[in-house]
Chains A and B, each alone.
Chain A
Amino acid sequence: MIVNVTNADWSAIAPTSIVAVTALVVLIADLLAPKHINRYAAIVIASIGIIVAGVIAYNQFRSGVNYGAFGGAFILGGFSTVFEEIILIAALGSIVLYSAIGREDRIAGAIALMLWSTSGAMLMAGAGNLMTIFLGLELLSLALYCLCGLADRPTSRESALKYLILSSMASGFLVYGMALLFGASGSVALADLTQPALATNPLFWMGAGMFFVGIAFKLSLVPFHAWSPDVYEGAPLPVTAYMSVATKAATLAVFARFMYAAIPSGIGDKLLLPIWILAAISMIVGNVGMLAQHDLKRLIAYSGIAQVGYILTALAGGTPLGLRYAIYYLAAYTFMNLGAFAVAALISGDREEGSRLANYRGLGRRHPAAAAFMTFFLLAMAGLPPTAGFLGKILILSTSVSAGYAWLGVILIVGTAISLYAYAKVIRAMYQRDEHAHVHEAKANVPLAWASAVVCFVLVIAMTFYPLTPSNVLPLVK
C-alpha cells in the first residue's frame, strides 16, 4: 500500500515530533552551552518544547478534527490529544522534579531520554494500527530502561534490569498477540478488527488474549503487577513519578481504543470479562498490598495498581460517558501522583533511604507545610473530598452502575475503604509525636518542587468544582 504523505499528516503528529526533536536540541545544547548554565538550558529547552507541543495538541483538540494520518497509522482526534496532554503534563512535572533533585551531570541525558519516552507514549495515544502501538511502546520502554538505572545505587540497577527483562517478556506477548491478530484479520489496522467474522476465529481470540496479557503487564494489573513495586522503588524518584503516570496513560489509551473501536461487534462482554475480573482483583490486591509497605514509592506503586482498577471500572460497559470519566480520573490521578512525588522530592530528595516511611515520622513538626500537602495528596488518592479523587469516584461509580457493572463499583468501594487505612498510616506517621525518628534530612526548600506541588494542589481542588470532561473523544478510529 502506497500512502501519500501530506502536510496534514505531518501536522497530526506535530506534538509528538516536536517532543522528539526537543530531546535532540537538549543534547546539542548540553554540548554547546557552558558548564554552569547547561543545567538550566536543558530544563528551559525541554519545558519550552513540551509547552509548545501542549499548545499545538490543545488547538488540535479544540478544532475537533478527526483524521487518520499516514494511512490511519496515527489517528488524530479528541481522544489522542487528551491523552497527549496528560502525558505531556506528566513529562513536564517529572522533568521539573528531575531538575530539582536529579544528579547535575546527567541532567541533559535524563531529560532527553524522558522526552523520547514521552514521544513514544504520545504515539501510543494516537496509534491507529498495531505497528504504531508497538513502535510507541518500545520507544517508551527503551528510554525508561535507561532512566530506571540512572541513580547511583544497586537498587536502581536492579530496577532497570528487572524492568528490562519482565517488560521485554510482556512486549513479546504483545507482539505475538499482534501477529496473531494480523493473521486473523489480514490487516494491521485496528479498524479492521471489527469484522464480524473474527468473532468465531480462534486465531483472533488467541491473539486478543495475548495482546491483553501484554497490556495487563504494562498496566501492572494483578497478577502481572509484581514488577512495579520493585521497579518504582529502585528508580530515581522523578522517573518513578513519570512512570507511574505516563506508562499507564499511554497503555490505557491503547486499551481504550482497542475496546471501544477494535472488537468485533457483540463479543465485547465476553472478550473483556477477564480484564474486568483482573481490574477487580487489582483493586483489592493493590489496596491490601499497600498495607504492608514501608516505602512511599512502593506504596504508590500498589496504589497505582488499584487506581488503574478504578479507571478500568469506568471503562467497563463501554459507554461514551465511561470513557470521559476514565479520562477525568486519569487526569486527577496524574495530578495527585505528581503532587505526592513533588512533596516526596521536597522532603527527601532522591536518596535511597529517603522514601522510607520511617523518614516521614514527625514530619508534621519539622515541615508542617510539606506534611500538609502530602496529607492532602494521600487523602485525594483515597478519594476524600474536596478533591478530584472524590468526584472521580462518584462519576466512576455512577457510570459503572448505569453500565451494569455495579459489582465493580462495590469492589471499588471495598478497595477504597482498605486503601484509606494504608494512606492514613502514612499520615499518622507524619503527625506522630515521635522525637526519636531516625531521619535523613534533605533540602527541604526546593522552589521548583514546591511550585509543582502547589500547582497540583490547586488543580486537584479546581477539578472537583469545575469537573470538565472532554466531550469529543469519540469516534476512536477513522
Chain B
Amino acid sequence: MIVLALVLLPILAGIIMLLIPAREENPVLAKGAGTVIALIEFALALGARDSEFSLRPWLSRPFESSFHFGATGISFWIVLLLAVVTFSAILAMSVPRQRQFVAQMLLLEGTMMGVFLAKDLLLFALFWDLMLLPVFFGLLGWGEHPATAWRYFIYNFAGGLALLLATATFGVLFGSTDVIGRTDVHVVGSWVPWIFIGFAFAFLVKTPVWPLHTWMPPTYSNTPPPMVAVVSAVQSKAGLYGLIVICMAFMPDYLKAYAGVLIVLGVISLLYGAVVSLVQNDTKRIVAYSSLSHLGLIVVAICSFNAIALQGALIYIIAHGLFSAGMFLTLGYVEAREDTRSLVRLGGLGAVNPKLAGALCITSLAALGLPGLAGFVGEIVILTGVFQAGFIWVTILALIPIVIAAAYMLRLFQGVMNGPEVEDLPVRRDLTWLEGIALAPIVLALVVLGVNPHALTTFDPAQYNATQTQVAQGVAR
C-alpha cells in the first residue's frame, strides 16, 4: 500500500494543482504544498523498504500483467534518492508560474516513482514514457529554447518505443511481464537478441551513452535548475536501473555477448564527456558533460560482470545522484543571483558568498572523487571490480577521466567562486536559510555515504560469490 501511495500521491497532487484555476497565483503557497507532499513522500519512502503491493491483474492475454509495485533491493535506494532530491529541488525554488511548475515537479516525481517501483515490465514501460512528459512540458514552458524540448522528447520517445516493442515480445515469449525481481525468468528463442537490443537501446538513450547523448547537454542546460537536478540525479538512472534489473537479470548471456560493445561505448563516453567538459563555458553544460562521463563509468561497471563492480555501480548511482543534484541546485542559485551561467562572466563570488562557495565546493569535490565523500567510494569500488574482472586496460583508461575530472571541477569552482571580483556583476545576498536547508540533506548524505558506504547495502555479501546474474536478481529482488 505504501508503494502505491508513493506513486499516486504526487501524481494526484500534481494534477489537482494543475486544475486549480489560476486567478490568484500564490507562489509561496504552491511551493509550500509541493514541499509538504515531497516531505510526505520522503517519509513514505523511508518506510517502504521491502514492501510490495499488487493491486489487481491488468492483462491476462496475450501475456499476464498486473499492477504490481515493490520497493525492494536497489529500487528502495533510488526511490529514497528521488524523494530527497525532489524535496531539495522544490524547497528553495523560484520560477515564474510557480504553481504549474511545482505541479510538473510532482508529476515528475510520481511518474519516476512508478518507473523504479514497478515490478511489472508493462507498468515499467508505461511509467517510462510517462516520465518524459513533465520534463517535456517543463522545457516547453520554462526552458530558454523550446526547441530543446523536441530533441529530448523525440530521442527518449524513440527509446520508449523500442522498450515497448521489446516488452511486448518479451511478454509473448515468456507469457508474463510481472517479472522484475523474479529469479526464475529465462527467455529463450531466436527473438531474445532483438528483445535485448530493444531494451538496451532504450536504456542507453536514457542514460545516455555516446553516441546517443546528443539530446542531453542542451536539455540539461535549458531545463530550470530544480527540474534538471531531479532529471540528472534520478531520471538518468532509469537506464542503468533497467540494464541491471532487466538486461542483466533476464538476458545475461546477451549482455555478456554485447558487453564488449557496451564497455567501448562506456569508455568513449567516459573520455569524451570529460574532455568536452573541460572546454565548456556554460556551468550547467560542464556538469552535463561530467554526467556523461560519470554515467559511462557505471555502464562499464555493469558490463564488466563482476560483483564488486556492480556493488560499486550501486553506490555510484546514489552518489552521482546526490552530487549532480547538489551541483545543479547550487549553480541554479548562482544563476538566479547573477543572471548568467557563463564562466567568462562569473568570478570572485566566493568572497561575498562563503556559504554558496562551501556548497559548490563540497558537491564538486564529491564529483571529482575526493576521498571521504561518496563519489570516491563509488569510483574506487568500481575500478577495483573492473580490474578484478580482468579489464586492465579499461581500468587504466578509466583512470584518465578521473584526473581530468579534477581539472574541470576545479576550473568550474575557481571560475565561479575564486579570482578577482567582477565589477559589473550584481552583488546579491549569500545562501538563504531555505536554500541552505534544501542543500543540507544532499551534502549530509554525501559525507555520510563517503565515510560509511556500508549504509548502502543492497544485497547480502553471500551473493558476492554467486554469478553475476544471481547478484543482479538479488539486486532487483
Interface residue ranges, A against B (CB under 8 Å): 321, 368, 372, 379, 383-386, 390, 393-395, 397-399, 401-402, 406, 409-410, 413, 416-417, 420-421, 424, 428, 431-432, 465, 467, 469
Instruction: Give chain B residues whose Cβ lies under 8 Å from the Cβ of A372.
Output: 18
- B residues near A379, Cβ cutoff 8 Å: 133
Residues of B within 8 A of A420 (CB): 153-154, 157
Q: B61 to nearest A CB, angstroms?
A: 6
| Contact of B63 with A by CB under 8 A | yes
A200 to B431, CA, bound (A): 85
8 A Cβ contacts from B126-140 to A:
126-127, 129-130, 133, 137, 140
Q: Considering the complex, which residues of chain B in the window 104-146 have a beta carbon less than 8 Å from any beta carbon of chain A? A: 122, 125-127, 129-130, 133, 137, 140-141, 146
Query: Contact check: which of A321, A424, A431, A467 meets B153 at CB < 8 Å?
Result: A424
- Indicate if the CB atoms of B146 and A397 lie closer than 8 Å: no
B59 within 8 A of A: yes
Q: Is the CB of A395 within 8 A of B62?
A: yes
* 20 A-B residue pairs with CB within 8 Å: A383-B164, A384-B129, A390-B126, A390-B129, A393-B164, A394-B125, A394-B167, A394-B171, A398-B168, A398-B171, A398-B172, A401-B172, A413-B162, A416-B161, A417-B154, A417-B158, A424-B154, A431-B140, A431-B141, A469-B61
Contact of B154 among A409, A410, A421, A469 (CB under 8 A): A421
A416-B61 Cα distance, complex, nearest whole Å: 23
CB distance from A246 to the nearest CB of B (A): 28
Given A413-B161, A428-B140, A431-B140: A394 in contact with B154 (beta carbons within 8 A)? no
**CB of B418 closer than 8 Å to a CB of A:** no
- Per CB-CB distance, the 5 closest pairs between chain A and chain B, nearest first, are A397-B168, A398-B168, A385-B126, A398-B62, A402-B172
Find the B residue at minimum CB distance from A412: B165
CA distance A421 to B162 in the complex (A): 16
A residues less than 8 Å from B130 (CB atoms): 384-386
Q: Is residue B254 contacting chain A, with contact meaning CB distance below 8 A?
A: no
Minimal beta-carbon separation of B21 from chain A (angstroms):
9
Given contacts A394-B167, A397-B168, A401-B169, contact A384 B133 (CB under 8 A): yes
CB distance from A234 to the nearest CB of B (A): 31
Q: How far is the CB of B457 from chain A (nearest CB, A)?
A: 34
A421 CB to closest chain B CB (Å) equals 6
- Known interface pairs A424-B150, A424-B153; A413-B62 also in contact (CB < 8 Å): no
Q: Is A385's CB under 8 angstroms from B161's CB?
A: no
Interface residue B391 (Cβ < 8 Å from any Cβ of A): no
Chain B residues within 8 Å of A, Cβ to Cβ: 18, 22, 58-59, 61-63, 122, 125-127, 129-130, 133, 137, 140-141, 146, 149-150, 153-154, 157-158, 161-162, 164-165, 167-169, 171-172, 191
B165 touches A409 (CB 8 A): yes
In the bound complex, do residue B127 and residue A385 qualify as a contact, i.e. CB atoms below 8 Å apart? yes
Q: Give the complex CA separation of A321 and B62 in angstroms.
A: 8
Residue on B nearest A466 in the bound complex, by CB:
B58
Q: Are A410 and B158 in contact (CB under 8 A)?
A: no
With A386-B126, A399-B62 known to touch, is A428 a contact of B146 (CB < 8 Å)? yes
Among B18, B158, B162, B168, the most chain A Cβ lie within 10 Å of the Cβ of B168
B11's nearest neighbour on chain A, judged by CB, is: A386
In the complex, chain B residues whose CB is within 8 Å of the CB of A386: 126, 130
Give the dominant DSSP class at B's interface: helix
Q: How far is the CB of A90 from chain B (nearest CB, A)?
A: 26
Which residues of B have CB within 8 Å of A417?
154, 157-158, 161
Nearest to B126 among chain A residues (CB) is A385
Q: Which residues of A contact B137 (CB under 8 A)?
A: 431
Chain B residues with CB below 8 A from A416, complex form: 161
Contacts of B153 in A (CB 8 A): 420, 424
User: Cβ of B58: which chain A residues have Cβ within 8 Å of it?
Assistant: 465, 467
Asked if A413 meets B164 with Cβ closer than 8 Å, knowing A420-B153, A421-B154, A431-B141, the reply is yes
Known contacts A384-B133, A385-B126, A398-B172, then 20 further A-B pairs from the complex at CB < 8 Å, ordered by chain A residue: A384-B130, A390-B129, A390-B164, A394-B164, A394-B168, A395-B62, A397-B169, A398-B63, A398-B168, A398-B171, A401-B168, A401-B191, A402-B62, A406-B191, A416-B161, A417-B158, A420-B154, A420-B157, A428-B140, A467-B59
Task: For the complex formed, measure the closest distance between the CB of A381 and the CB atoms of chain B, giving whole angstroms.
Answer: 14
Considering the chains assembled together, what is the distance between the CA atoms of A384 and B129 in angstroms?
7
Collect the chain B residues with CB atoms within 8 Å of residue A465's CB. 58
- Minimum Cβ distance to chain A for residue B349 (Å): 31
A471 nearest in chain B by CB position? B61
* Residues of chain A within 8 A of B162, CB atoms compared: 413
When chains A and B are docked, how far (Å) is the Cα of A406 from the Cα of B173?
Answer: 13
Contact status A385-B167, CB under 8 Å: no
A4 vs chain B, min Cβ distance (A): 41
The residue in A385, A390, A413 that gathers the most chain B C-beta atoms within 10 A of its C-beta is A385
B16 to chain A, nearest CB (A): 14
Would A398 and B154 be within 8 Å (CB), given that A384-B129, A385-B126, A431-B141 are in contact?
A: no
Q: Tell me the complex Cα distance, A421–B58, Å.
A: 30
Q: Which residues of B contact A390 (CB under 8 A)?
A: 126, 129, 164
Residues of A within 8 A of B164 (CB): 383, 390, 393-394, 397, 413
What's the Cα separation between A72 and B130 when bound, in Å?
Answer: 48
Please report the C-alpha to C-alpha distance between residue A383 and residue B125 in the assembled complex, in whole angstroms: 12
Q: How far is the CA of A394 from the CA of B133 in the complex (A)?
A: 19
Return the contact of B165 from the options A321, A397, A421, A432 (Cβ within 8 A).
A397
Q: How far is the CB of A402 from chain B (nearest CB, A)?
A: 5
Q: How far, in Å, is B473 (CB) from chain A's closest CB? A: 24
Q: How far is the CB of A310 from chain B (nearest CB, A)?
A: 13
Cα(A394)–Cα(B62), bound, Å = 10
Q: Which residue of B lies closest to A410 (CB)?
A: B165
| Distance of B99 from chain A, by nearest CB (Å) | 12
In the complex, what residues of B have CB within 8 A of residue A428's CB? 140, 146, 149-150
In the complex, the chain A residue whose C-beta lies closest to that of B123 is A385
In the bound complex, how far is the Cα of B154 from the Cα of A420, in angstroms? 8
Q: Within the assembled complex, what's the spacing in Å between the Cα atoms of A399 and B141?
A: 39
Distance between A423 CB and nearest chain B CB, rounded to angstroms: 11
Complex contact A432–B167 (CB within 8 A): no
Question: How close is A73's CB to chain B, nearest CB, in angstroms?
Answer: 33
Considering the complex, give the chain B residue whose CB is closest to the CB of A397.
B168
Chain A neighbourhood of B149, CB < 8 A: 428
Chain A residue with the shortest CB-CB distance to B59: A467
B61 engages A321 (CB within 8 Å): yes
Inter-chain contacts of B18 with A (CB < 8 A): 372
Q: Which residues of chain B have C-beta atoms less than 8 A from A394's C-beta? A: 122, 125, 164, 167-168, 171
Which of A385, A398, A467 is within 8 Å of B169, CB to CB?
A: A398
Q: Which residue in chain B gives the minimum CB-CB distance to A420?
A: B157
A379 vs B133: C-alpha distance when bound (angstroms): 10
Bound complex: CA A406 to CA B62 (Å): 15
Q: Which residues of the partner chain A approach B63 to less than 8 Å between Cβ atoms?
A: 398
User: How far apart are the CA atoms of A14 and B165 in the complex, in Å?
Assistant: 42
Q: How far is the CA of A413 from the CA of B141 in the complex (A)?
A: 28
Q: How far is the CA of A416 from the CA of B133 in the complex (A)?
A: 16
Q: How far is the CB of A283 from chain B (nearest CB, A)?
A: 13
A432 touching B168, Cβ below 8 Å = no
- Among A383, A397, A399, the one with the most B-chain Cβ atoms within 10 Å of its Cβ is A397
Residues of A within 8 A of B141 (CB): 431
The closest CB in chain A to the CB of B158 belongs to A417
Q: Give, as a whole number of angstroms, the nearest-CB distance from A410 to chain B.
A: 7
B64 CB, min distance to chain A CBs, angstroms: 12
Considering the complex, give the chain B residue whose CB is closest to the CB of A395.
B62
How far apart are the CA atoms of A384 and B126 in the complex, in Å? 8
Question: Which residue from chain B places its CB closest to the CB of A402 in the assembled complex?
Answer: B172
CA–CA, A81 to B442, complex, Å?
60
How far apart are A315's CB and chain B's nearest CB, in angstroms? 15
B103 to chain A, nearest CB (A): 12
Q: Contact at A432–B146, with CB atoms within 8 Å?
A: yes
A385 touches B129 (CB 8 A): yes
With a CB–CB cut-off of 8 A, which chain B residues contact A385?
125-127, 129-130
Chain A residue at minimal CB-CB distance from B136: A424
* CA A432 to CA B63, docked complex, whole Å: 41
State which of A321, A409, A424 has its C-beta within 8 Å of the C-beta of B168: A409
Bound-state Cα–Cα, A467 to B64, Å: 12
